[in-house]
């Protein structure tokens, strides 16, 4: 018994689409470096918004950083906030439009450095928003400077001999910090460098938006991602390095359910 001989063109013609770009992503080519984890994170958020059917009722808040141009790529309403102030802006939007779904999309330089105060106080107030936090351990857009999340010994343009914890402190585990606050309903750390982890991250984002629907409080999803340009590696090398080093300090999993 043999199966019929079939060409790729026939598969495309006769078969069904099992994966395609979500309509909530625009046709603009992403401005990120080749291999950057931002693209997958953008897609996951937009897929969840699309699948929940809340595209017309969702307002995103873009940060300052590589993802400052998120409004170009996400085909929903987006407000761009001042550096680090995305949770404060999201608070305002959510209070004016309590029926809308509001999320912020921030990097580690934005959320964990200049925006630490806004993040902690928004979480402490238990604002009913979703915070998507992309942690790549470096300031990507400005040229690979040391961020609060840079690992000990990790080289960056402002720590050329590696981060020394005696003078520069330890990497900030901000998701664990805010998980201790009663206003936070859900805090989790995920990654997007393998297909399995991408699927888990999507489930976490679905849960976060569901929490917002149920008015449970703040949900924060940290996504550990690569910055191959900032780390001076190829995309494949950077994902391997992330797996071996970043995940040892920033373990994946739910911190607060």
Partner 1 sequence: MPKVRGAVVIDIEACKGCDLCVVACPFDVLKLDTQVNAKGYNPAIPFNHDACTGCKICALVCPDICITVYQYKPEKV
Which spans of this chain sit near partner 1 (rule: CB under 8 A)? Answer: 1-4, 6-12, 14-21, 25, 29-30, 32-40, 42-43, 192-195, 198-199, 234-236, 239
Q: How far is the CB of 24 from partner 1 (least distance, A)?
A: 11
Q: How far is the CB of 176 from partner 1 (least distance, A)?
A: 27
Nearest residue (CB) to partner 1, 51 versus 176? 51
Distance between CA atoms of residues 8 and 19, nearest Å:
16
Q: How far is the CB of 139 from partner 1 (least distance, A)?
A: 19
Q: How far is the CB of 94 from partner 1 (least distance, A)?
A: 28
| DSSP tag of 84 | T
Beta-carbon count within 10 A of 31 CB: 15
Q: What contacts 2, CB < 8 A, 6 or more positions away?
A: none
**With the C-alpha atoms ordered 21, 22, 28, 29, is the resulting torsion angle positive or negative?**
negative
Nearest residue (CB) to partner 1, 19 versus 161? 19
Nearest residue (CB) to partner 1, 12 versus 248? 12
Q: How far is the CB of 198 from partner 1 (least distance, A)?
A: 5
Nearest residue (CB) to partner 1, 11 versus 96? 11
Nearest residue (CB) to partner 1, 42 versus 173? 42
Q: What are the angstrom distances between the C-alpha of 50 and each of 42, 45, 126, 129?
A: 12, 9, 25, 18
Distance between CA atoms of residues 231 and 238, nearest Å:
7
């Amino acid at each position: 018994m043999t199966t019929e001989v079939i060409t790729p063109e026939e598969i495309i013609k006769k078969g069904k689409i099992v994966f395609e770009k979500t309509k909530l992503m625009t046709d603009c080519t992403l401005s990120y470096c080749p291999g950057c984890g931002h693209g997958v994170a953008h897609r996951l958020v937009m897929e969840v918004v699309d699948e929940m059917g809340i595209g017309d009722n969702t307002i995103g808040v873009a940060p300052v950083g590589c993802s400052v141009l998120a409004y170009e790529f996400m085909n929903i309403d987006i407000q761009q906030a001042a550096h680090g102030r995305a949770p404060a802006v999201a608070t305002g939007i959510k209070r004016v439009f309590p029926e809308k779904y509001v999320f912020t999309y921030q990097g580690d330089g934005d959320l964990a450095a200049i925006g630490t105060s806004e993040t902690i106080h928004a979480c402490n107030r238990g604002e009913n928003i979703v915070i998507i936090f992309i942690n790549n351990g470096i300031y990507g857009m400005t040229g690979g400077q040391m961020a609060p999340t840079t690992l000990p010994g990790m080289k960056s343009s402002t720590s050329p001999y590696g981060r020394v914890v005696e003078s520069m402190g330890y990497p900030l585990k901000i998701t664990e910090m805010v998980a201790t606050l009663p206003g936070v309903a859900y805090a989790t750390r995920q990654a997007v460098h393998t297909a399995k982890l991408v699927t888990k991250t999507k489930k976490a984002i679905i849960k976060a938006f569901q929490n917002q629907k149920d008015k449970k409080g703040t949900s924060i999803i940290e996504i550990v991602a690569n910055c191959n340009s900032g780390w001076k590696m190829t995309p494949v090398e950077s994902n391997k390095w992330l797996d071996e080093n970043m995940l040892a300090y920033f373990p994946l999993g739910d911190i607060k359910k």
